[in-house]
Amino acid sequence: MKEQLKIDFNKIQEVSNFSNRDIEIKKSYLNKFIKNGFPNRKHENWKFLDINQIISNNISDLSFYNDYSIENKIDSSIFIDDLEHNKIIFINGRIEKIDFSYEDKKQIEIIEDSYTIDKSENNNSLIDLNIALSNKHFKILIKKDYSLKKPLIIYHLTNEKMKSKNINLRLDFELEQNSSLKLIDFFSDDSEKNFMNIFYNFNLDSDAILKNYKIDKSLNKNLKYSFNNINQKQNSISETFVFSAGSDYFKNEINCNLKGEYSSAFINGIFSLDDNKQHEIRTTINHLVENTKSYQLIKSVLGKNTKSAYQGRIYVDSKAQKTDGYQLSKAILLDETSEFNAKPELEIYADDVKCSHGSASGSLDDNSIFYLMSRGLNYKQAKGLLINGFLLDVIEKITDAEIKDLLKKMIGLKK
C-alpha cells in the first residue's frame, strides 16, 4: 500500500496546481499517514470496528488517485424533489456543481483552496490521509446576520466507474455572527468497494446556528468515514442528525468544542442496519467554559449479521461549571447474529455539573407485541409498529419541520 500511496500522491501533485508550501504540508501529512497506517483495533477509538481490517477484507488493491479531468454527467433524477434547496454536487469525489440559486449572492462567499490546516495535534490518521490527498478544497463563508433561505444539500454521488478507490473530501464552513445554515448530506451510490473519507470543519461565531443532517439510506457496498469538527462560540447552537443505514461500513465522528458560554450541541442518530452492515457513531463533546449544554440520543435497530457501536464522550473542563450533559443510547437486537457495543464515557473535572448517561439494549418487548397482536395486528405489523415508534422518538428531535417531514417520508414513517 505504501508504494501505491507514494505513486498516487505524486500523480496528484502533477495534475494539480498546489503551491510549494501546500505540497510540503501535504507531504508531511502523507508521511505521518504512511508511518501510522489505517487505524486498527489497538487504537481505543477503533476498538469496536477495526477499519484497517474492514478495508483489507472488503477492498483489494485500494488506490488513491482519481482522475478529475473529465466531467461527470449529473443525473437529476436523484435530486430530492419535495424540498427547494441549494446544491453542491460531488460525483466520485469531483465537485461538479455549486448552486446557491435561492440565496443572496453577496451574503455567501465561496473561497477555493484556502488552507486552514489546524496546527492542533490530531491523532487521527484518517485526517492525515485526508489532508494529504484531498484535491480541491472549498470554504463556504456565510456572512453576518444572514440565514440561508433554503437548506443546502450536498450530494455525495458515485457511479460504476469508480472501483477500489479512496476519495478524500474536505469542506470548511465559516458561520459569522448570527448567521444560520441548514445542511443536508445526502449519499447515493452506484459503485461498490470504495472508501470515502470526508472531513468537514465548522466554525460557528456567536449566535450562529448550524443544522447538519447526514442521510445514508441507499444500500451500497462502500465504506465511509465522516468527521465533523465543530468549534462553537458564545450562544451558538449546533444540531447534528445522522441516519446511518445504507453503506456496508459507515463511521461518523463528531467533535464539538463548546468554547463560548451558553453554546449548545445536540447530536441525534439512528442506526437502521441489516445484512452485514457495520456502523459506528463516535462523539466527543468538549465543554470548555461555563454554562454549556449538550444532548445526545442514539438509537439502533439491528438485523442479521449487523454490528453497531456508539462511543460518546463528554469532557468537562474544570472551568466549565454549570455544564449540562446528557447521553442516551438504546438498541433493539432483532437477530441472534446482531451485536451492539457502547462506550458512553464521562470525563469530568468540575463539580457543579449535571452529567448523566444511559444505555440500554435488548430485544423487542414481548408484552408490547402481545398487546398489539391481541388488538388484531399480525406479528410483522406489530414488530414494525414498535420499531417505528422506537425510531420516531429520534426523528422528533429534529428542530426543522420541513426536514423532519422529509426524513419521515424517506424512512417510511409518513406518506
Partner 1 sequence: MDTREKDIENLKDYKYGFTTDIENIKAPKGLNENVIKFISNIKKEPKWMLDFRLKAFERFKLLKEPDWQKPKYPKIDYQDLYYYSAPKSMKDKPKSLDELDPKLLETYNKLGIPLQEQARLNGIAVDAVFDSVSVATTFKGELTKHGIIFCSMSEAIQKHPDLVKKYLGTVIPTTDHFFATLNSAVFTDGSFVYIPEGVKCPMELSTYFRINASETGQFERTLIIADKGSYVSYLEGCTAPMRDENQLHAANVELIALDDAEIKYSTVQNWYPGDENGKGGIYNFVTKRGLCKGKNSKISWTQVETGSAITWKYPSCILKGDNSIGEFYSIAITNNHQKADTGTKMIHLGKNTKSKIISKGISAGFSDMTYRGLVDINSKAKNSSNYTQCDSLLMGNKCGAHTVPYIKNKNFDSNVAHEATTSKISEEQLHYCQQRGLNPEEAVGLIVNGFCKEVLQQLPMEFAVEAQKLVGISLEGSVG
Q: Shortest distance, CB of residue 370 to partner 1, whole angstroms?
A: 16
The nearer residue to partner 1, 297 or 353, going by C-beta atoms, is 353
Q: Figure out which of the listed residues 208, 301, 342, 406 binds partner 1, where binding follows CB under 8 A.
A: 342
Q: Figure out which of the listed residues 337, 371, 381, 409 binds partner 1, where binding follows CB under 8 A.
A: 337
358 contributes a contact to partner 1 by CB under 8 A: yes
The nearer residue to partner 1, 101 or 356, going by C-beta atoms, is 356
Q: Figure out which of the listed residues 25, 34, 348, 392 binds partner 1, where binding follows CB under 8 A.
A: 348
366 contributes a contact to partner 1 by CB under 8 A: no
360 contributes a contact to partner 1 by CB under 8 A: yes
Task: Check: CB of residue 114 under 8 Å from CB of residue 139.
Answer: yes
Q: Shortest distance, CB of residue 313 to partner 1, whole angstroms?
A: 9
Question: Which range touches partner 1 (CB under 8 A), out of 50-58, 86-94, 117-125, 327-335?
Answer: 327-335
Q: Figure out which of the listed residues 336, 374, 375, 376 binds partner 1, where binding follows CB under 8 A.
A: 336
Q: Shortest distance, CB of residue 343 to partner 1, whole angstroms?
A: 5
- For 382, other C-beta atoms within 10 Å of its C-beta total 20
Q: Figure out which of the listed residues 154, 242, 334, 386 binds partner 1, where binding follows CB under 8 A.
A: 334
Tell me, residue by residue from 43 to 72, as one string, x for binding to partner 1 by CB under 8 A and - for no binding. -x----------------------------
- Which parts of 172-231 interact with partner 1 (CB under 8 A)? none
Question: Which range touches partner 1 (CB under 8 A), out of 16-24, 97-105, 330-338, 390-398?
Answer: 330-338
- Which parts of 300-319 interact with partner 1 (CB under 8 A)? 318
- For 153, other C-beta atoms within 10 Å of its C-beta total 21
Q: Figure out which of the listed residues 10, 114, 356, 381 binds partner 1, where binding follows CB under 8 A.
A: 356
Q: Shortest distance, CB of residue 269 to partner 1, whole angstroms?
A: 16
Q: Figure out which of the listed residues 346, 369, 392, 410 binds partner 1, where binding follows CB under 8 A.
A: 346
Q: Shortest distance, CB of residue 360 to partner 1, whole angstroms?
A: 5
* 349-352: long-range pairs with CB below 8 Å, 24+: 349/316, 349/317, 349/318, 350/316, 350/317, 350/318, 350/319, 350/320, 350/321, 350/323, 351/321, 352/321, 352/322
322 contributes a contact to partner 1 by CB under 8 A: no
Which grid cell is 373?
A: 397482536
Q: Figure out which of the listed residues 349, 370, 371, 379 binds partner 1, where binding follows CB under 8 A.
A: 349
6 contributes a contact to partner 1 by CB under 8 A: no
Instruction: Please state whether 151 falls in left (phi above 0), alpha (psi between -120 and 50) or beta.
Output: beta
Q: Shortest distance, CB of residue 337 to partner 1, whole angstroms?
A: 8
Unique residue bearing C-alpha cell 414513517: 413
Q: Count of residues binding partner 1 (CB under 8 A)?
A: 35
Q: Figure out which of the listed residues 355, 369, 377, 385 binds partner 1, where binding follows CB under 8 A.
A: 355
Q: Shortest distance, CB of residue 271 to partner 1, whole angstroms?
A: 13
368 contributes a contact to partner 1 by CB under 8 A: no
What is the contact surface with partner 1 in residues (CB under 8 A)?
44, 318, 321, 331, 333-363
